[in-house]
Amino acid sequence: MLVLRLLNVVAPAYFLCISLVTFVLQIFLFIPSMFRDPSTTPLFSPALLHGALFLFLSANALGNYVLVIQSSPEDLGKSLNLGEGTEVVADWLDGSRFPGSALPNTHYCRLCARVTQRHDHHCFFTGNCIGSKNMRNFVMFCLYTSLACLDSLVAGMAYISAALSMSFANPLAFLTLLPHSISQFFSGALLSSEMFVILMLYLWLGIGLACAGFCCHQMLLILRGQTRYQVRKGMVVRARPWRENLQEVFGKRWLLGLLIPVLNVGSDYRGQKEK
């Protein structure tokens, strides 16, 4: 448990550091050095267009990241008057339902120390539980993070291609880039800044693929009306049309959530709570 609590603190700091490094490399290295074209007008210059795209992706990724943390699932143990103390916690830990609870699909999180509605999983990179209240923001966070990493990967490959006078037309060139760069770096033929960019290329690739996988898997569960916790515990859910499952998570203003970071809107949990 101590290791998990430590990871819950280190992972968000690691993500913010990677975001800051990516922003600095894009704005102060890639864009000024690789996207200058005197033949184009300043309004439609590649540097301006690429910068606008990167800022759009980054703003959505960081905006939804903040909303995932801000819209933390409510502690139903307090709102439903479940009480406090180790006895109540033990009832949730062993899977039994407390008599005062009227809502299904609740779960007690050890790290957050609270009972959440439609608990999906605990995200260490946000240090928060993912539930019915912040599911849409989490999906958008994964989507735009993967796109921002892809954008940085392409820009970084263009920078390395020009700096080292090499071509990535052959897919094996990227796979063999790291071992060749390490040997050149220790022999003094490669600058430290170029080696750092090469390491960031593989980091962007890994983070981008991981976030894309999380996003696709989460969307599949949403279409089925399930959560990861329900799948892990083998719980059976009521079959519903996939459109209703999507609307439950993304709401009626789903298009707005694709363009700008907005808070999650209406869910079945609110209706149940009002009843």
Pairwise CA distance, residues 234 & 216, whole Å: 21
Pairwise CA distance, residues 24 & 10, whole Å: 21
Record the pTM.
0.84
Query: Which pLDDT band, with edges at 50, 70 and 90, does 37 fall under?
Result: low
Report whether 152 contacts 211 (CB < 8 A): no
In sign, the C-alpha dihedral spanning 237, 264, 19, 25 is: positive
Higher-confidence residue: 259 or 41?
259
**Among 151, 122, 138, residue whose Cα is nearest residue 35:** 151
Read off the tokens for 132.
């019915």
Pairwise CA distance, residues 198 & 268, whole Å: 47
Read off the tokens for 141.
């966070």
Identify whether 109 is a catalytic site residue. no
End-to-end CA distance of the chain: 37
3-state secondary structure of 36: coil
Active-site choice (17, 109, 112, 123): 123
Read off the tokens for 259.
């363009």
Q: What is the pLDDT of residue 93?
A: 45
Strands 106-109 and 121-123: unpaired
What pLDDT, in 10s, does the model give residues 70-110? 877 665 655 555 555 444 444 544 444 444 444 556 777 87
**Which residues are CB-neighbours of 212 under 8 A, at least 6 positions away?**
142, 146
Pairwise CA distance, residues 119 & 132, whole Å: 7
Higher-confidence residue: 268 or 132?
132
Which one-letter amino acid corresponds to residue 93? Answer: L
What pLDDT, in 10s, does the model give residues 43-81? 567 778 888 999 999 999 999 999 998 877 665 655 555
- In DSSP terms, 130 is beta-bridged to 121
